Amino acid sequence: MLEDYTLISKATDDFAPVVVAHFSAQADDRYSLGNPHAYLDSNIISTLNVTDVAHGLKVEHLLMASTS
């Protein structure tokens, strides 16, 4: 879901979070060799979308951590 900007943006329309925590990541670097687009969507595009939506919501705190 997080790689779809429209869905994540709509999901936040009904509330105004003060804090956003983003722990999502596609683990296993070896998986990225065989599935580079899935890895990119999960790790890069999703993170970009979360930060963009958080910025638009003007959250007070954004916490991001990698699970990989």
- pLDDT at residue number 21: 93
Q: What are phi and psi of 43, to 5 degrees?
A: -90, -40
In tens, the pLDDT along 6-61 reads 998 898 888 888 999 998 777 777 877 888 888 888 888 989 999 999 999 999 99
Q: What is the pTM of this model?
A: 0.81
Residue 51's SS3 state is: helix
5, pLDDT greater than 90: yes
Q: How are the residues of the chain apportioned to helix, strand and coil, as percentages rounded to the nearest 5? A: 50, 10, 35
